[in-house]
Amino acid sequence: MNKSNYLAFTGVLMATFVNMLMQTLVAAILPQIVQDIGGEALYGWVFSSFLLISTITIPLFAKLADQYGYKQWFLIGMVLFLVGAFVCGIASSMPLFLTGRIIQGIGVGAIGPVTIALISHLFSIEDRGRAMALYAITQIGANISAPLMGGWMAQTWGWSYAFYVAIPFGILSSLLIILFLPQIEVQQCVEHKHKFDWLGALLLGGTIALFIQGCTMWGKSYSQLMYATFLFSLMMGIIFVLQQRKHENPVIPTKLIKITNIRLANASAFLIGFLMYGLIVILPLYSSVNKGDRISILQDKLLVSLMLGFGLGAILSSWLIKKVSFKILAMIGWFLILIACGGLTFISLHNIMNLVTFGLILLAGWGIGTLIPTFLLPAQNAAPASDQAVVGGIVQLSRNSGGAVGIPILTTILTLPNPFFGGSNGYSFVFFLLGLCTVVGFCIGTQFTTTKKKQA
């Protein structure tokens, strides 16, 4: 790969870093923001509005990027993201702050699938594993550094500057893309450009929005509204499927869903989202109720162990992907997670918190990191070049959906009144359930085809 491609990829990594940095950073400084501008009643919407908007816009922007060009939609997304960061920085009220977060969410919805698609165009099939490892490590670095950076900036200069810091990163990323990203030929038929499936995009966005909203109600209020939300989501999803079958330029082409590796990749991404986001939410809660005498000072470091393992797994997978098939790599990753979940089930049942706990969490992260190439690269390699953003978008959507389903289910288990689920036993059942998901993932991994299809 030539120097220009490497510089363009640097721009992609910078966009990924600032995106993940902003997501984690907000969680660290939000209490201070609420203290300054008020709006405690809207606290939860700071996160849910961003997640909802960035998720439902992924399929729309992915399709537009495949049809009209990656560079344009990357830059449009980055401009929206930076405008949102600026609005958040100058916000003097919570409604204005939420407006900035929504604008950021729209920008991320455009940037996310484009960055994944660009990896397939900038790297050969043989080098994509290494590129995905760098992509994953960049995300981890942002997640680990964001709380420290956000807290330091908020205390030193004020929380507004924690948002302003995104602007120079975003500008530099955009300049690298403008100057060094080669022009990628758009292979969609010209007549299809004028027949974009706007109704399909609206139906899909509505289906996802209602589904996520229903998941947020799960465990809090089993009301008629929750059931109605899921019902309308199902109905809108059925209408969406019918719309896709009859439209000549659908948002998600049915030809992609018929490809075995793409179906398996999306199923894997859903389970990984369930596991990864579930562990991110559960581990801090678990550490707060299991006090180990010798290492109680490390109780808040469980997530660091998970992220460290994630990074190590991503690095190892970038090396293994050149030597073994997707099937073997997937089986290795799922097996590591299964061992970790089995061990965590046992030690949580006996209220143990020691170095073994951290080792098992490190192993779980290692397994998740190893699986990263197995839910994206098989899908990209199987899809034509004209649908790379769409494929990356639906895989990303599957992972987000897994998190949206997993978090309310796992947290609800901890609130069940049955003594078997109460206290530490609740966490044992959570880890046991994650282990069952891992078994399903292992079975899915054994079905990947070993043939690596070249891009069209």
Compute CA distances 117 → 113, 242, 347, 371, 390, whole Å: 6, 27, 41, 19, 8
pLDDT at 1: 59
Q: How many CA atoms lie within 13 A of 433 on its CB side?
A: 20
Torsion of CA 298, 304, 305, 307, to 10 degrees: 170
Q: What pLDDT was estimated at residue 74? A: 92
Six-digit token pair at 156?
Answer: 């030193």
Whether residue 349 has pLDDT greater than 90: no
Segment 305-313 mean pLDDT: 84
CA distance 375 to 302: 25
- Name the token pair of 258: 């018929």
Does position 97 have pLDDT exceeding 80, yes or no? yes
CA distance 415 to 70: 45
* Contacts of residue 321, Cβ cutoff 8 Å, sequence gap at least 6: 128, 129, 130, 329, 373, 377
Angstrom CA distances, 31 to 40, 42, 274, 362, stand at 9, 12, 27, 29
Which range has the worst mean pLDDT, 115-119, 196-200, 232-236?
196-200
Query: How many helical (H) and strand (E) elements, i.e. helices and strands, does the chain have?
Result: 18, 0
* Domain residue limits, the chain: 3-184+192-196, 256-445
Distance of alpha carbon 218 from alpha carbon 225, whole angstroms: 11
Q: What is the mean predicted confidence (pLDDT) over 333-355?
A: 87
Tens digits of residue pLDDT in 381-416: 888 777 777 888 888 888 888 887 887 788 777 776
Q: What's the average model confidence in pLDDT over 425-442? A: 89
In angstroms, the CA 90 to CA 111 distance is 23
Burial (0-12, 13-18, 19+ Cβ within 10 Å), 232: middle
Buried/exposed code over 1-13 (b: 16+ C-beta within 10 A; e: otherwise): eeeebeebbbbbb
Read off the pLDDT of each residue in 302-312 and give the average, rounded to a whole number. Answer: 81
**CA dihedral sign of residues 13, 14, 17, 22:** negative
Query: Is the model more confident about 425 or about 444?
Result: 444
Higher local confidence (pLDDT), 273 or 296:
273
Candidate CATH numbers 3.30.70.20, 3.40.190.10, 1.20.1250.20, 3.40.50.300; the one for domain 3-184+192-196: 1.20.1250.20
Same fold, 3-184+192-196 and 256-445: yes
Task: Please state, in angstroms and rounded to a whole number, the distance separating the CA atoms of residues 127 and 454.
Answer: 13
Q: Decide if 122 contacts 131 (C-beta within 8 A).
A: yes
Contact 408, 215 (CB under 8 A): yes
The per-residue pLDDT for range 18-61, each reduced to its tens digit, is 888 887 778 668 778 888 888 777 766 777 778 778 888 888 88
Q: Span 242-264, mean pLDDT?
A: 83
- Residues 136-187: pLDDT tens digits? 788 777 877 776 777 777 778 888 888 998 899 999 999 999 998 887 655 5
* CATH code, residues 256-445: 1.20.1250.20
Cβ–Cβ < 8 Å for 289, 348? no
Question: What mean pLDDT, rounded, does the chain reach?
Answer: 81
* Position 453 pLDDT exceeds 50: no
pLDDT at 456 over 60: no
